[in-house]
Amino acid sequence: MRSILVANPKGGCGKTTISTNLAGAFAQAGLVTAIADADTLRNSLNWIERRSGNLPPIHGLDWTKGIGKVKKNIDRLVIDAPAAIHAKDFQSLLKMADAIVLPILPSAFDQIAAVAFLGKIETLKPIRKNRKPVAVVANRVRARTRAARSLLEFLNQFNHAPVATIRETVIYTDAAEAGASVFDRRGSAARAIQAEWAPLITYID
């Protein structure tokens, strides 16, 4: 099993969007996939409930009250962390993970908050020793905007160039409503969006 913790204490940066779409990619690739939802808002668990039986199944693990058991047959576990996570809870979830995905939005507020969080978690031994790598994902990026350029410059300055850059599109919101990911969609527009995830998926694999 490979386990990915999607975390950033900043609310609304795309943790659940990244979690559900990563899970969708793994499930479409034929891997036995689960999402452990550690957020009491249960966004990921509710997304799984909305998921059609025609789509590759994704197992939902309720970790809202604490970390639970993971069945041995799971190939990929995606852990969706809550906003405003306490250091202790982050460390508990980190124990369950092989890698961390940190979504960041192109906004000064989000960038500063994310770098402060990175600074904190980089003092933790598994991260400091690079046993558990942190992949930054630039999310909701609009191509050729000043915000996109300044996010990239900002991350480069901290040696955290994004592993993947995910554009802003209603396809994510529309798919989420149906318990689907962009990987459950067909057509050239969906394929172009799926391609943006390839570097992150390669990184994880």
> Which residues of this chain interact with ligand ATP, rule CB under 6 A?
11-17, 39, 43, 83, 139-140, 166, 168-169, 172-173, 176
What does the alpha-carbon distance between residue 25 and residue 203 come to, in Å, rounded to a whole number?
14
The interface partner of residue 51, options being ligand ATP, Mg ion, none and the CB cut-off 5 to 8 Å by kind, is: none
**CB 198, CB 205: distance < 8 Å:** no
Convert residues 7-36 into a mask of x (bound to Mg ion by CB under 5 A) and - (unbound): --------xx--------------------
Q: Rounded to the nearest whole angstrom, what is the least distance from the CB of residue 174 to ligand ATP in the complex?
A: 9
Q: Which does 139 bind (CB under 5 to 8 A by kind): ligand ATP, Mg ion, none?
A: ligand ATP
Rounded distance between C-alpha atoms, residue 21 and residue 71, angstroms: 21
> Does residue 3 belong to the site contacting Mg ion (CB under 5 A)?
no
What is the DSSP code string of 51-98? --TTSPP-EEEE-TTS-----TT-SEEEEEPPTT--HHHHHHHHHT-S
Q: Is 22 left (phi over 0), alpha (psi -120 to 50) or beta?
A: alpha
Smallest distance from ligand ATP to CB 17, Å? 3
| CB-side neighbour CA atoms (13 Å) of 23 | 33
Which residues from 43-102 bind Mg ion, rule CB under 5 A? 43
Provide the minimum distance between the beta carbon of 83 and ligand ATP in the complex, in angstroms, as a whole number. 3
Q: What are phi and psi of 59, to 5 degrees?
A: -80, 140
Cβ 72 to ligand ATP, closest distance in Å?
28
The smaller minimum CB distance to Mg ion, of residues 15 and 160, is found at: 15
Minimum CB–partner distance for residue 197 and ligand ATP (Å)? 11
